[in-house]
Amino acid sequence: MCGIAGVYGLEGIENPKQTSDLLIEAIGHRGPDAHGAYLDSEVILTHTRLSIIDLDARSHQPFIDPEGRYVLVFNGEIYNYLEIRKELPDYQFKTNSDTEVLLVAWKKWGSECLKKLNGMFAFSVWDKQNAELFLCRDRLGIKPLYLYQDDKRILFSSEIRSLLNTGLVPRKLNGSNLEEYLKYQTVHAPRTMIQGVELISPGSFLRISDNEIERKQFWNLTKVPLAAGSNKDQVHKSIASLLNTSVEMRLLSDVPLGAFLSGGIDSSLIVGIVSERLNKKIDTFSVTFDEQEFSEAKYSNLIAKKFGTNHHEIALSQDDFKEAVPKALLAMDHPSGDGPNSYVVSEAVKKSGLTVALSGLGGDELFAGYPFFKQYMELNQKRYLLSFPKYARNLVTQIIKLKYPGIKGQKIAETFTLPYFDVPHTYPINRRALSDKDIKDVLSNYGGADSLFQDLKSILNWQATGNLPELSKVSIAEISTYMQNVLLRDTDQMSMAHALEVRVPFLDHRLVDYVMGIGDNIKYPRFAKSLLIDAYKGLLPDEIIHRPKMGFVFPWEHWMKNELKDLCISSLDYLENETGYFNQGSLYNLFNRFLAGDKTVSWSRIWPIVALGTWMKNNKVE
C-alpha cells in the first residue's frame, strides 16, 4: 500500500524537483518505507512506499521497464499477480513484486490487462514514447485517485492534500457541492469539495495526451451476469467458494497480517474462514472498553476462543477516544461525517505490530445487512398507496409525524409522498442527514437540486438494470454511494494515516458480480444477511448471528454538548463568519436545537458540519 502523485505538463513550473518534493511531503505518511520520484521534460511521477509484497529495494517505485519506455507508480495490491506472471513466460523478472508484474502486463496487453487484475489499485503509467499518461482505478473504488486539470497541466494524487500542497491547485471550496454534503455527509464521485478537483470514477481509466483526456470504463457494477438457476444449495456453495478464495488470496503478505475482530457477523465470518475453512492460524485484534455498554469484547472473545486465534485486546478508554478526535480531524483528507472511529482502531492496531488487516467491510452492502433492504421490499408491496389522492396522503403524513416526532417520522412521511417507490426516489431519503428545510435555512444560496437522486436515476436506469433483482438495485445504490464515498474513503484516509493496509475480502469483484445476479427470492433477508449465514451454516454460533448490531456507539451526543462543545462552536463560527456560504446565526440555531434535545437534529446531523469547518480551517480552504 502506498501513495502516488504526479504532474503532466511542466510548462511554467520553475522548479520541478521542488514540486515533486511537495507532492511527496503531503502523502509521506502513506508510505514511510521509501520515497521515489521520476522527472523528465513532460511529467513528474512520485511514490511513497509501504512495503507489503517483496520488501527488497529493487521493488521501490517509480518502476521503469528495461527499455525505458514505461514508468509506473502504483498504490494497492494485485492479489492474483502470481497467476498473471505465469502468462508472461518470456519476460525475465528481476523482482518478486506485483508491481513488476503489473508493468509487464501493461506492456503486453495495454489497458486490456485491467480486466485480468484482481485487487485494489490506483496506478499511473507514463508511456514516454507516445507521450501518454494513463490513470487507472480499481472496480469497487477501494483505492482513491484524485485529478485536477487547468489550461496548463494535469495533477493527480492519492490524496487531495498532496495536490493542494504544490500551490498549483487553488484552495477553494466547491460551494456548488455544499447542498449535497449537508444532505448526505459526503459528496459522491466524481465530485469533491475542492473546486476543480475530481475523484476518478471506480472501474475506469483515463488516457491523457496533449492535455486531452479520454475516459473509458472497464467494469460496471450494473452489468453483471444473472446467477444460473435458483437452486439454493448451489448458490450457497458458490458464495462460499468465491468468498473462501477471496479471503485466501488476501492472506498473501511479507509483513505481519491479522484481522479486525469486532465480534460482528462479517469480521467473525472472515476469521472463521481463515481458521476453519483454510486451516490457518491468524492474529485477531479487537478494541475493548471498560464501559460495558460500548464494549464488544464478549463477542470477539467468543469467536477468538472458538477458532483458536492469537487474540489481542486493545483497551481504550473514552478519554483515549476523545483525545484522538482532533488528530482524526487533522488526518481527514476529504470532509466526512464519519472517520474518527476508523482512525482510533487503525492507530491501535498499527501500534500492536500489524501492517495488514482484513476487514469485513462490504458484507452489509452485498448481503442485505442494512434495515433498508427489507424496508424497500416491503414498500414495493405497497405500491397501491401511490394511487391515493394527494390530500389523503398529506393527511397520513401528518399522522405519521405525530406518531414518530423525530427523524424517523420525517423520513417515513416524505417517502409516503413520493411519486414512485423505486430505488432512486426512496434510497436518498434513507441516507439523508439534514432535511431540505434545514439546509435551506442554513445556506445563503440554496438551489434545491438533489445530485444523488440524479446519480441513482442515471446508474439505475431501466436499460442498465431492468433485469436485475430489486435487492441488487439497493446493493448498487449502497455500494456506489455510501460505501464508496464514506466507508471506503474514510477507511483509506484513516488507516493510511498510520501506514496500515486494510484489505476487504467481500469486495472481490467476482463475488460481487455473482451476488448481484442472485434473485430476490433467495437473497431476501429473513434476518440480516441470512443468505450469507446460510452459505456458512454452522460456522458461526447463534450468539453472533442474532446479536444486536453495535458498531461504535460512543456517547457523541454527550461529548458534543460538553467536552467537544468548544470544538463544535469554533467550527460553526468559522463556517458562518469566514466562508460566506451560510446565513448568519443559522448554524448556531441548528446547534442550539441540538443542545435543547430537538429530536429532528441528532448529533450525527451536526457532526458532518463540524468536520467540514475543521477540515477547511486545517487545510486553509477558502
Return the active site residues.
2
The three cell numbers of residue 455 are 446519480
- Identity of the residue numbered 606: I
Which residue is listed with cell 481458521? 275
Phi and psi dihedrals of 231, rounded to 5?
-80, 110
Q: What are phi and psi of 580, to 5 degrees?
A: 80, 5
Closest CA to 611 of 325, 190, 318: 325
List the grid coordinates of 113.
490487462
CA distance 259 to 243: 15
Coil, strand or helix: which one is 285?
Answer: strand
DSSP 8-state class, residue 113 = G
The residue type found at 425 is H
Q: Where are the alpha helices (DSSP H) in 332-480?
A: 340-351, 363-366, 371-380, 390-403, 407-416, 423-431, 436-442, 451-459, 462-465, 470-478
> Could you tell me how many residues make up the chain?
622
Residue 136's nearest CA partner among 127, 124, 147 is 124
Q: 489481542: which residue's cell?
A: 312
* Distance in angstroms (rounded) separating the CA atoms of residues 457 and 434: 21
Strand order through the sheet with 212-217: 63-64, 70-78, 119-127, 132-137, 204-209, 212-217
